[in-house]
């Protein structure tokens, strides 16, 4: 994967642009509410000892490059000193303090030191360096609260005895106070809310700090790693060069291997033998990572995803070619993750050109401060699989219309499988997601899946829906009949993708049941045992429909006879007897005698060779219930 990132970086740098332009992060010009975003400028005038804010400039496609916005400093505990940020808190507290420690030339350093000493208040050495200094609001008319007076008030209200925790609490209270003061001033002065500001940058005597060549050189130097005085001997892990080597990769933004735990170091001393990069390859790596974050970053339901191409034959020669490939990858992935109107897309995407061939590494990740936690890396995905997913989704949609009628709406895409796998959510974040990502791996690489594991997951989803359990990704409003019926079509999709082997179909010519049931069993490829459970489920559906008509209020007591933990063979026998009695009780036996007879015949014929487990029994019973319920609803206009 690292080779693919460096290939991207090579294409970015081959265009002749400077390194800074390849570090710049994209900034949206409008927020989620489609409101125009702005740049808020911290304007320091050293000659007149003045400070003011300016929020008149609107963000456009060139703003990020103009102010050299490259995100935050590398590493979770690194001092933040970049002059352009997406957070105003840095500039209110630590940016100026840290800038005085960066070599920016005598003249610029002198101005920065004067600003820091004249415009900021020292809270004392009890506070951590990043929280020790605060911009003096009141002195320059930005707010009415005096920083030291606010500190005295907060300290007086804090009752925590533990010294460390005490100052942690005081820091938190102070942040809330000066954040509130700052945001209220900006809203009152400029009529702009916090979510309408995309960047915060520093100006000195009317000139953006990002315009100074000394500042830009300092940025580039910070991206070269910490070079020790001792020259590292060895060869670059990518190109084989022995010049300008470094093992310090702390500036990497997509951290996919350990660089800070001594137990993984060579001979417990250093990483020099594990991974070395020369200066050129390091620049390419950093540029490639930044491009991926800007152009190949997407989402799939509750997950964030990087799409990283690795060119096997040929490579994009410049940024224009790379952008074309990236747009195709993004479009293809975003289409198959949420297919709506797949007919419009079916022949639209042509992934490969005649001169290049590439595979895609799909990284599911979670950002935690500066760290990148890799949840799953799906390696070497052939781009043609996107077209195959679309084709098979289209085929399953046609199958759904054939079996259920033209009014049945069905789309199978990558997001569908998210709702077929029970996942606990904590603050809307998926927790136990391993099985789902393994399923995505199998689909995208067309490897085998265990069908019984998929069925077990679907049954868990129906249990969550039926009992209205909270804290999961499952939407109980859709109804278990929707979930189970769609799961059957998901299995057909998995068969078409080569992830699940097609089972042994039964001969339906001797079945004495309605033609629509025969069509369903034939197209789903059920064997005799699956068909027996399906017919038993259809009878439960008929009983449920009769109970609904008689009792109303969505009441179907027959469903209480089902154990959502699974139905073993003995319970199947008891359930069959109860179903027969309910057919009599609801006065619908005469309409369903043939179906019951065929169900019983298939069960008796397979009683000594029964292979379905308790979850599969329940799944195919619920499949029959779902089919019968959905058919009844479609025949009544969806009511």
In this structure, is residue 495 part of a structural domain? Answer: no
**Alpha carbon distance 231, 211 (integer Å):** 33
pLDDT at 177: 87
pLDDT at 352: 43
Strands (E), 516-563: none
CA 557, chain centre distance (Å)? 40
Q: Which of 171, 187, 221 is the last residue of a domain?
A: 221
Query: Of 120, 99, 122, 123, which is closest to residue 111 (Cα–Cα)?
Result: 99
Instruction: Count up the domains in the chain and report the number.
Output: 2
In this structure, is residue 608 part of a structural domain? Answer: yes
**Alpha carbon distance 148, 123 (integer Å):** 7
In this structure, is residue 388 part of a structural domain? Answer: no
Q: Are strands 38-45 and 197-204 parallel, antiparallel or unpaired?
A: parallel
**Alpha carbon distance 484, 279 (integer Å):** 56
How would you label 87-122 residue by residue, b for 16+ Cβ within 10 Å and e otherwise?
ebbbbbbbbbbbbbebebeeebbebbeebbeebbbe
How would you label 301-315 residue by residue, b for 16+ Cβ within 10 Å and e otherwise?
bbbebbbbbbbeeeb
Quick one: DSSP state of residue 58?
A: B
**Alpha carbon distance 175, 282 (integer Å):** 37
Residue 587 in contact with residue 530, Cβ under 8 Å? Answer: no
**Alpha carbon distance 526, 534 (integer Å):** 9
In this structure, is residue 360 part of a structural domain? Answer: no
456-459: which pairs have CB atoms within 8 A and are 24 or more residues apart? 456/615, 457/420, 457/421, 457/422, 458/420, 458/483, 458/484, 458/487, 458/619, 459/564, 459/566, 459/615, 459/618, 459/619, 459/622
Q: Which of 189, 221, 253 is the last residue of a domain?
A: 221
HSE toward the beta carbon, residue 322, CA cutoff 13 A: 27
**Alpha carbon distance 135, 451 (integer Å):** 61
pLDDT at 124: 86
Q: Which residues of the chain have pLDDT under 70?
A: 15-17, 75-76, 224-230, 250, 255-274, 315-317, 339-356, 369-371, 476, 553, 636-639
In this structure, is residue 313 part of a structural domain? Answer: no
In this structure, is residue 203 part of a structural domain? Answer: yes
Strands (E), 382-504: 425-426, 429-430
HSE toward the beta carbon, residue 564, CA cutoff 13 A: 16
In this structure, is residue 468 part of a structural domain? Answer: no
pLDDT at 282: 87
582-586: which pairs have CB atoms within 8 A and are 24 or more residues apart? 582/543, 582/558, 583/539, 583/542, 583/543, 586/543, 586/546, 586/547, 586/550
Q: Which of 196, 221, 246 is the last residue of a domain?
A: 221
In this structure, is residue 535 part of a structural domain? Answer: yes
pLDDT at 502: 86
Structural domain that includes position 118: 31-221
Strand partners, 309: 360
Q: Phi and psi of 62, rounded to 5°? A: -100, -5
């Amino acid at each position: 994967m690292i080779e693919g990132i460096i290939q991207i970086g090579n294409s970015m740098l081959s265009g002749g642009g400077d390194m800074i332009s390849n570090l710049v992060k994209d900034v949206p010009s409008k927020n989620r509410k489609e409101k125009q975003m702005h740049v808020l400028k911290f304007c320091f005038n050293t000659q007149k000892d003045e400070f003011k804010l300016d929020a008149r400039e609107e963000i456009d496609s060139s703003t990020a490059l103009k102010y050299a916005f490259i995100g935050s400093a590398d590493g979770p505990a690194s001092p933040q000193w970049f002059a352009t940020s997406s957070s105003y808190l840095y500039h209110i507290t630590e940016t100026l303090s840290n800038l005085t420690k960066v070599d920016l030339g005598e003249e610029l350093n002198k101005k920065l030191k004067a600003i820091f000493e004249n415009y900021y208040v020292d809270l004392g050495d009890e506070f951590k360096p990043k929280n020790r200094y605060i911009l003096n609001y009141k002195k320059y008319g930005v707010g009415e609260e005096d920083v030291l007076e606010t500190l005295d008030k907060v300290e007086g209200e804090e009752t925590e005895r533990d010294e460390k925790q005490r100052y942690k609490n005081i820091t938190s209270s102070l942040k809330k106070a000066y954040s509130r003061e700052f945001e209220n001033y900006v809203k009152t002065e400029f009529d702009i809310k916090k979510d309408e500001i995309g960047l915060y940058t520093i100006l000195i005597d009317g000139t953006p700090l990002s315009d100074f060549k000394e500042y830009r050189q300092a940025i580039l130097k910070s991206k070269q790693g910490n070079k020790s005085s001792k020259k590292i001997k060895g060869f670059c892990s990518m190109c084989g060069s022995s010049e300008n080597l470094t093992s310090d990769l702390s500036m990497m933004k997509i951290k996919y291997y350990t660089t800070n735990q001594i137990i993984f170091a060579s001979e417990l001393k250093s990483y020099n033998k594990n991974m070395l990069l020369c200066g050129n390859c390091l620049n390419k790596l950093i540029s490639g990572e930044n491009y991926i974050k800007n152009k190949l970053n997407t989402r799939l339901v509750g997950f964030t995803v990087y799409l990283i191409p690795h060119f096997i034959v040929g490579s994009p020669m410049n940024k224009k070619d790379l952008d074309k490939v990236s747009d195709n990858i993004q479009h293809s992935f975003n289409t198959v993750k949420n297919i709506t109107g797949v007919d419009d897309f079916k022949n639209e995407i042509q992934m490969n050109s005649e001169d290049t061939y590439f595979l895609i590494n799909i990284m599911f990740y979670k950002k935690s401060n500066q760290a990148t936690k890799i949840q799953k890396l799906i390696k070497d995905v052939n781009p043609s699989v996107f077209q195959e997913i679309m084709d098979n989704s289209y085929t399953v949609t046609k199958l759904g219309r054939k079996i259920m009628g033209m009014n049945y709406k069905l789309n199978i895409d990558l997001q569908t499988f998210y709702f077929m796998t029970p996942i606990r959510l904590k603050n809307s974040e998926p927790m136990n997601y391993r099985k789902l990502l393994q399923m995505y791996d199998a689909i995208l690489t067309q490897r085998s899946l265990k069908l019984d594991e998929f069925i077990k997951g679907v049954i868990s989803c129906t249990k969550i829906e039926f009992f209205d359990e909270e804290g999961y990704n499952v939407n109980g409003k859709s109804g278990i009949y929707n979930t189970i019926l769609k799961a059957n079509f998901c299995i057909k999709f998995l068969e078409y993708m080569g992830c699940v082997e097609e089972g042994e179909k039964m001969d339906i010519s001797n079945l004495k049941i309605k033609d629509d049931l025969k069509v369903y069993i034939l197209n789903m490829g059920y064997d005799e045992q699956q068909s027996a459970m399906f017919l038993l489920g259809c009878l439960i559906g008929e009983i449920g429909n009769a109970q609904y008509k008689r009792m109303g209020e969505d009441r179907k007591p027959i469903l209480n006879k089902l154990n959502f933990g699974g139905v073993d063979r003995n319970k199947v026998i008891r359930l069959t007897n109860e179903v027969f009695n309910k057919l009599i009780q609801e006065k619908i036996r005469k309409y369903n005698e043939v179906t019951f007879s065929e169900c019983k015949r298939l069960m008796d014929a397979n009683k000594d060779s029964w292979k379905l487990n308790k979850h599969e029994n329940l799944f195919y019973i619920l499949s029959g219930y779902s089919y019968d319920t959905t058919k009844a609803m479609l025949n009544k206009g969806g009511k």
